[in-house]
């Protein structure tokens, strides 16, 4: 039997099943690998391309326009280049291509092209830009229905919050860049909008752009715009820098932007003008930049996701919004604020939360911050019966992890199916451990909390092999 070449089988399967287009030519420009994804992208059949001379299959290409041939000649890779073309089925395709020279013992033996189809994404991004443009042109400030947050919408009495609000208020009338750092759901967008609406630019546009999740090639076009280009097939379109002219541009998750684009952004901020992709004209812009990040900026610089020079340029005003667990004293204010908001929305008459709910809120660490609290309240208010005045633990049915109920210990899996005395011992042990934790291992305090004598507690500690560390 013929020896099975496992590598060959793996390779064939990868080529067949991946949705990334792959095209390989040898040094005589003959196609030696061409997968289904590439065939679909180019609107051809595999047989039309395999083992054929590249320029015979694609007569419109030449030495200068075919990236595969170019790489054979220059022996240099071309990385992440956006290509726009009409394929053989007449479909307009946008792809991100990389072309890599293949070497065997220092000699070039071929070239490999990999292509990611981003046509759909590009269509979405174009749509987004058109909508944004439309919005800008139809927006009537006086009665627009889009909520524009102001400083009055920021709830917080905690010292760190008051300090952050103070810095933000002072920054509203200056044109300087602002860098806002805060975990997810801490209110970065709320702050950014308030800074805009609190300042002299309030009647000018406020445009927010998330820098994560959009490939660099598209984001660049979205930011700076594109000029009609015969070769690239791009259409003429204004970028959001121009759309936000005179106003504020919020660049969300700046640390997700590629370093290359960060460098281009820095140049724009320093020089005060942009140049559209494929354009020759320098267009002056006057845009106030607010950037946000959910990672400590110095940490981002250290791990290489944020350019130091851009950081200095953005960090003229620095705002750190503390996570909710650092300002638990604001929880009650926020609860009441959201209750009021959802009373109106849901037609209920809730006046507050019960003490044991608040207690659970204080114990919880709130990784999703204010957004998580807002959603918890909204969920509970949907669930609460119409005659409810104070939200109870039972209303928070959608977030049992927040309402860790002491009662639940009895139903805990690990206690089920044991003799009753053992069962009770384990529960007692759990309660003692918790009491010790809550009294920072102070035996007298823990005993007091448990309502037993200090000696009794010591006796129980011994029984369960526990110690107050
Ligand atoms: N201090 C606050 N007072 C009132 N509402 C707040 C406060 N902070 C946040 N919120 C509310 O919490 C939600 C999340 O806020 P926002 O979108 O500004 O957070 P973010 O920091 O931008 O989050 P992400 O990093 O996930 O984008 C919003 O509904 C906002 O109105
Ligand atoms: Mg945000």
Helices (H), 155-258: 159-172, 188-197, 216-224, 240-243
Shortest-distance atom of ligand 1 to CA 337: 4
Tell me the per-residue pLDDT of 75-91, one tens digit each, with 9 for 90 and over: 999 988 888 777 887 78
* Multiple choice CATH, 408-463, 3.30.70, 1.10.10, 1.20.1630, 2.60.40: 1.10.10
Predicted confidence at residue 65, as pLDDT, reads 82
CA 247–ligand 2 middle distance (angstroms): 19
pLDDT tens digits along 92-102: 888 899 999 99
Strands 288-293 and 248-252: parallel
Mutate to test the pocket of ligand 1, among 155, 166, 169, 185 (most ligand atoms within 8 A of CB): 185
Question: Could you tell me the residue ranges of all domains in the chain?
Answer: 6-117, 121-320, 329-395, 408-463
- The CATH number that domain 121-320 falls under is 3.40.50.300
Give the mean pLDDT of 255-259.
93
Backbone angles phi, psi at 433, to 5 degrees: -60, -45
CATH of domain 6-117: 3.30.450.20
Q: Please name the residues in contact with 253: beta carbons below 8 A apart, sequence gap of 6 or more.
A: 210, 211, 212, 292, 293, 294
Between β-strands 352-353 and 390-391, what pairing exists: parallel, antiparallel or unpaired?
parallel
What are the pLDDT digits (tens) for 166-194? 999 999 989 999 999 999 999 999 999 99
What is the C-alpha to C-alpha distance for residues 465 and 202, in angstroms, rounded to an integer? 65
Q: Rounded to 5 degrees, what angle do the CA atoms 124, 129, 132 make?
A: 125
CATH T-level fold of 329-395: Helicase, Ruva Protein; domain 3 (1.10.8)
Q: Which ligand is nearest to the CA of 149?
A: 1
pLDDT 10s digits, 374-429: 999 999 999 999 899 999 999 998 888 888 754 445 555 555 666 777 778 877 88
- Of 164-178, 251-265, 362-376, 451-465, the poorest mean pLDDT is in 451-465
Rounded to whole angstroms, what are the CA distances from 154 to 76, 168, 321, 376?
54, 11, 12, 18
Q: Which residues of 22-56 are buried (b: 16+ CB within 10 A; e: fewer)?
A: bbbbbeebebebbbbbbbbbbebeeeebeebebee
Confidence at 233, pLDDT banded by 50, 70, 90: low
Distance from first CA to last CA of the chain, Å, rounded?
A: 70
279-290 pLDDT tens trace? 889 999 999 999
pLDDT at res. 297: 96
pTM to 2 decimals? Answer: 0.66
Asked if 441 and 469 count as a contact pair (C-beta separation under 8 A), the reply is: yes
| Residue whose CA is at the smallest distance from ligand 1 atom 9 | 187
Q: What residues line ligand 1, using a CB cutoff of 6 Å? A: 153-156, 182, 184-190, 294, 370-371, 374
Cα 151 to ligand 1 centroid, rounded to whole Å: 13
Whole-angstrom CA distances from 20 to 97, 115, 118 are 10, 6, 11
Q: Answer whether residue 60 shows pLDDT above 80.
A: no
- SS in 3 state form for 352-379? EECHHHHHHHHHCCCCCHHHHHHHHHHH
Kindly state the tokens that stand for 274: 């942009």
Collapsed DSSP state (helix, strand, coil) of residue 99: strand
Going from the Cα of 263 to the center of ligand 1, the distance in angstroms, rounded, reads 29
Q: How far is the CA of 252 from the centre of ligand 2 (A)?
A: 6
pLDDT the model gives residue 230:
47
Extended beta strands in 239-337, E state: 248-252, 273-274, 283-284, 288-293, 317-320
CA of 10 to the centre of ligand 1 (A): 48
Residue with the smallest CA separation from ligand 1 atom 23 is 185
Cα separation, 417 vs 423, in Å, equals 9
């Amino acid at each position: 039997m013929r020896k099975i070449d496992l590598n060959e089988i793996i390779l064939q399967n990868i080529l067949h099943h991946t949705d990334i287009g792959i095209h390989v030519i040898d040094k005589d420009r003959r196609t030696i690998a061409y997968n289904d994804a590439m065939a679909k992208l180019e609107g051809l059949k595999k047989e039309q391309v395999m083992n054929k001379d590249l320029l015979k299959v694609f007569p419109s290409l030449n030495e200068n326009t075919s990236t595969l041939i170019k790489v054979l000649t220059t022996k240099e890779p071309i990385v992440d280049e956006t290509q726009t073309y009409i394929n053989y089925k007449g479909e307009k395709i946008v792809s991100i291509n990389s072309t890599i020279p293949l070497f065997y013992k220092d000699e070039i033996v071929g070239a490999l092209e990999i292509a990611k189809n981003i046509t759909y994404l590009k269509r979405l991004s174009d749509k987004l830009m058109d909508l944004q443009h439309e919005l800008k042109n139809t927006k009537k400030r006086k009665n627009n229905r889009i909520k524009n947050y102001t400083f009055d919408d920021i709830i917080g009495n905690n010292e760190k919050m008051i300090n952050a609000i103070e810095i933000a208020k002072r920054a509203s009338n200056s044109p300087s860049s602002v860098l806002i750092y805060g975990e997810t759901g801490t209110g970065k967008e709320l702050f950014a909008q308030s800074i805009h609406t609190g300042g002299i630019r309030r009647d000018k546009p406020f445009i927010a752009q998330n820098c994560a999740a959009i490939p660099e090639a598209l984001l660049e076009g979205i930011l700076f715009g594109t000029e009609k280009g015969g070769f690239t097939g791009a259409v003429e379109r204004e970028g959001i820098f121009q759309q936000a002219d005179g106003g504020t541009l919020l660049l969300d998750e700046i640390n997700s932007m590629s370093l290359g684009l960060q460098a281009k952004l820095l140049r724009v901020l320093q020089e005060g003008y942009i140049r559209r992709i494929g354009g020759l004209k320098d267009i002056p812009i006057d845009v106030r930049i607010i950037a946000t990040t959910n990672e400590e900026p110095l940490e981002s610089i250290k791990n290489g996701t944020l350019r130091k020079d851009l950081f200095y340029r953005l960090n003229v005003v620095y705002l750190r919004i503390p996570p909710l667990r650092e300002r638990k004293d604001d929880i009650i204010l926020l609860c009441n604020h959201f209750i009021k908001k959802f009373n109106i929305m849901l037609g209920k008459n809730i006046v507050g939360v019960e003490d044991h709910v608040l207690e659970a809120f204080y114990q919880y660490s709130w990784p999703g911050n204010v957004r998580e609290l807002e959603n918890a309240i909204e969920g509970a208010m949907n669930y609460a019966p119409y005659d409810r005045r104070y939200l109870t633990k039972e209303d928070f049915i959608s977030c049992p992890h927040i309402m860790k109920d002491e009662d639940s210990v009895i139903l805990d899996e690990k206690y089920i199916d044991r003799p009753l005395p053992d069962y009770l011992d384990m529960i007692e042990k759990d309660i003692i451990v918790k009491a010790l934790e809550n009294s920072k291992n102070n035996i007298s305090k823990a005993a007091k909390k448990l309502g037993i004598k200090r000696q009794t507690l010591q006796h129980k500690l011994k029984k369960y092999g526990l110690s107050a560390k």
